Chain A
Amino acid sequence: DIQMTQSPSSLSASVGDGVTITCRASQSISTYLNWYQQKPGKAPKFLIYGASSLQSGVPSRFSGSGSGTDFTLTISSLQPEDFATYYCQQTYGLPYTFGQGTKLEIK
């Protein structure tokens, strides 16, 4: 299985800050990397596919980059609704695997 490792596991920031979350794959996955946002008690929300393509309706303050084994999710100016847990997922090879999650909390 391809292992996905996110860092940090948790992060504190303030409204208006910019933050970056990193996801590393245990082998090259090209750009088959997706990002999700999950709030407590809710299903994950699909944010980014193909490492850098924004899903329809997702605010432009979210961006993704990377290829191969190293990827980042950047939120340029945090809004109150952005405080949540973020997961990366690879869809390069079966079984699909998720990172362990990064919890973004309000400072």
Chain B
Amino acid sequence: QLQLQESGPGLVKPSETLSLTCTVSGGSISSSSYYWGWIRQPPGKGLEWIGSIYYSGSSWYKPSLKSRVTISVDTSKNQFSLNLNSVTAADTAVYFCASSRRDSGYDFWGRGTLVTVSS
């Protein structure tokens, strides 16, 4: 079964760019069956969908974040990545990467990584 693991800095300064990578094992990121997503959860709050990408590079973003977000895929490394620029304290959250089948829920998740935005 798929395993996903987030990696990246745990501390980002305000106005800078948050960059995270999700490494997929146990399967190919180029599988036509799967979509790859990022979800975040501010401390003590609920889940927020950030966006998704398909192995072809097609991507979809939450409109309120679209101007600041880029999700990309590297099939050679079996990874996909999240870049969120111009961060503020409101972007402090646990960031999860996850996999889903088309129009279905997220069946495999990474453990999540806490990113704190602070100077």
Contacts and interface: CB of A to CB of B under 8 A. Distances in A.
Contacts of B109: 43-46
Given A42-B111, A43-B111, 14 more contacts: A32-B103, A34-B105, A34-B106, A44-B106, A46-B105, A46-B107, A50-B104, A87-B46, A87-B47, A89-B49, A95-B60, A95-B62, A98-B46, A98-B48
Nearest to B37: A96
A94 B103 contact: no
A100 B46 contact: yes
A98 B111 contact: no
B80 interface: no
Interface in B60-77: 60-63
A96 to B, nearest CB: 4
Given A43-B112, A94-B60, A95-B62, A55 B47 contact: no
A91 interface: yes
A27 to B, nearest CB: 16
A74 interface: no
Contacts of A7: none
Contacts, number: 58
Chain B interface, >50% SS class: strand
Given A36-B105, A46-B105, A49-B104, A95 B49 contact: yes
Contacts of A91: 100, 103-105
Nearest to B61: A95
23 contacts: A1-B63, A34-B106, A35-B105, A43-B96, A43-B111, A44-B109, A45-B109, A46-B106, A46-B107, A46-B109, A49-B104, A49-B105, A87-B46, A87-B47, A94-B60, A95-B49, A95-B61, A95-B63, A96-B52, A97-B49, A98-B48, A99-B46, A101-B46
A90 to B, nearest CB: 10
B46 A43 contact: no
A1 to B, nearest CB: 8
A34 B104 contact: yes
A104 to B, nearest CB: 15
